[in-house]
Chain A
Amino acid sequence: MARIIVVTSGKGGVGKTTSTANLGMALAKRGRSVAVIDADFGLRNLDLLLGLENRIVYTALEVLAGECRLEQALVKDKRQSRLVLLPAAQTRMKDAITAEQMKQLVGMLGDKKYDYILIDSPAGIEQGFQNAIAPAKEALVVTTPEISAVRDADRIVGLLEANGIRNAHLIINRIKPAMVAQDKMMSVRDVQEILAIPLIGVIPDDEKVIVSTNRGEPLVLASEPSQQSLAGQALQNIVRRLEGEKVPFLDLTPPPDHFFSRLRRLFQPSE
Chain B
Amino acid sequence: MPFKCLPMLQELLDRLFSRGAAQKTSRETVKRRLQILLAHDRTDLSPAVVEKMRQEILEVVSRYVEIDPDHSEFSLESDQRTTILTANLPIRGIKEVAASLDEPQVAPLPAEATPTAPEPDNSAVSKTPPDSLDLSLLDVIDAAIDPNVLGIANPSADVKQP
Query: Which of A's residues lie within 8 Å of B, judged by CB?
Result: 147, 150-151, 154-155, 157-158, 162, 180, 183-187, 190, 194, 196, 266-267, 270-271
Contacts and interface: CB of A to CB of B under 8 A. Distances in A.
Given A154-B41, A196-B80, A266-B15, A185 B27 contact: yes
A154 B42 contact: yes
A264 B23 CA distance: 19
B26 interface: yes
Contact of B81 (A162, A184, A196, A270): A196
B16 A266 contact: yes
Given A183-B25, A196-B81, A267-B12, A158 B31 contact: no
A187 B25 CA distance: 13
Given A147-B37, A151-B34, A267-B12, 15 more contacts: A154-B38, A154-B42, A155-B41, A157-B81, A183-B28, A184-B26, A184-B27, A186-B30, A186-B31, A190-B27, A194-B35, A194-B38, A196-B80, A266-B15, A266-B16
A194 B39 CA distance: 10
Contacts of A194: 31, 34-35, 38, 78
A151 B37 contact: yes
Interface residues of B, number: 22
Interface string B139-162: 000000000000000000000001
Interface string B1-40: 0000000000010011000100101111011011101100
Interface in B32-64: 33-35, 37-38, 41-42
A162 to B, nearest CB: 8
6 contacts: A150-B34, A154-B41, A185-B27, A186-B30, A187-B27, A271-B25
Given A151-B37, A194-B38, A266 B31 contact: no
A157 B41 CA distance: 12
Nearest to B80: A196
A266 B80 CA distance: 37
Nearest to B23: A270
Select the residue from B27, B33, B41, B162 with max chain A CB neighbours within 10 A.
B27
A111 B162 CA distance: 33
Contact of A158 (B12, B42, B80): B42
Nearest to B16: A266
Contact of B26 (A154, A183, A266, A267): A183
B28 A266 contact: no
A271 B26 contact: yes
Contact of A184 (B25, B42, B78, B162): B25
A159 to B, nearest CB: 9
Contacts of A150: 34
Contacts of B41: 151, 154-155
Contacts of A147: 30, 33-34, 37
B23 A151 contact: no
Given A154-B41, A270-B20, A186 B27 contact: yes
Contacts of B37: 147, 151
Contacts of A196: 80-81
A270 B33 contact: no
Contacts of B28: 183
B29 to A, nearest CB: 10
A71 to B, nearest CB: 40
Interface in B64-109: 78, 80-81
A184 B24 CA distance: 11
A186 to B, nearest CB: 6
